[in-house]
Amino acid sequence: MTSTEPATGPTPSAKDKVLDWLRAHLFGLAVANLIANIGIVVTGGVVRLTGSGLGCPTWPKCTEESYVAHEALGINGVIEFGNRLLTYVVAAIAITVVVAAWNRRGVIRNLAIIIAFGVPLQAVLGGFTVLSQLNPYVVALHLLASMAMVGLCVWLLDEIRSPGREAAPRNVRVAAVVTFVVGWLSLWLGTVVTGSGPHSGDLESRRTGLDPALVSHIHAYAVYALIAATLITLWLGRKNAYVRRVTVVLLVIELAQGLIGWVQYLTDLPVLLVGFHMLGAALISAGLARVVVSTRAHTA
């Protein structure tokens, strides 16, 4: 008799093992992608709220002579340069997600690639904000682009893992889109308020010249409209468990954000509350995207 041993395939290489691990952890990496993009919104807020927007006075170098911050720039230079360094962390995570999603043809891979390309584009836009001496309109565009990145990260997460479902009824889908549009109008008006207020990022940077009290009230009306649109979406989608759940989450974020907004307005914009308000804006962007995608058909 001859003994036979079970056939074994070739031993996976270190590269194959790494790729297998990345593919198996795509969802977790996509979560990290979302957190990183929300995080850089917050750290960008720290730069502005500490008056460090021109801590590195030029771009792509920190100064005309150096790519890195040095002692003469003080703490503001450290803060601004530190935020620039975080861009590389966000880029590394985004590239890792692309590698993990590369064998997932279609929307998942396309979204991962778009997000990865968005990071250097955002870095260039951030450079223009410095070169424009923190022009409030350029700063607003930079922030809104970050909000869009957050929304794309949420869409990617939904494509990777979310409950299987049929498309919601047409009236629910329309209500979700209206909520999304009103929400983005509110986010844009929030940047207008910021551009007219005191936290410019640097004592020498100019403001829009608009009346802060007036634009704050206009922004508040947009928030009221957003809450109303969210309530309508919640009512119309009440029979759809997933739509109902994600819309309730968005509503809670909106109410908390509205409360913070009123308190910071009545207390002359304390830095800590403004920082939380910026975090809330990023969470609202995420919530708006999640509500819209929740109304679409999805195969688990």
Return d(Cα 80, Cα 73) in angstroms, integer: 10
pTM value is 0.92
**pLDDT tens digit string along 150-195?**
999 999 999 999 999 999 999 999 999 999 999 999 999 999 988 8
Amino acid at 214: L
Residue 204 pLDDT exceeds 70: no
Closest CA to 119 of 155, 98, 88, 156: 88
Closest CA to 144 of 120, 173, 169, 122: 122
pLDDT value at residue 196: 85
190's tokens: 């929030």
Residue 200 pLDDT exceeds 70: no
Place of tokens 């995207």: 289
* pLDDT above 90 as % of the chain: 74
**pLDDT tens digit string along 127-140?**
999 999 999 999 99
**pLDDT tens digit string along 226-285?**
999 999 999 999 999 999 999 999 999 999 999 999 898 888 888 888 889 999 999 999
Return the sign of the alpha-carbon dihedral for residues 259, 263, 269, 272: negative
Distances in whole angstroms, Cα of residue 135 to Cα of each of 89, 109, 199, 206, 209: 26, 35, 13, 7, 12
3-state class (DSSP) for residue 298 = strand
Note whether 122 and 145 are within 8 A (CB).
Answer: yes
Note whether 97 and 26 are within 8 A (CB).
Answer: yes
Specify the higher pLDDT residue, 238 or 9: 238
The length of the chain, given as a count of residues: 300
220's tokens: 């508040």
Q: Give 137-152 as a DSSP string.
A: HHHHHHHHHHHHHHHH
pLDDT value at residue 199: 66
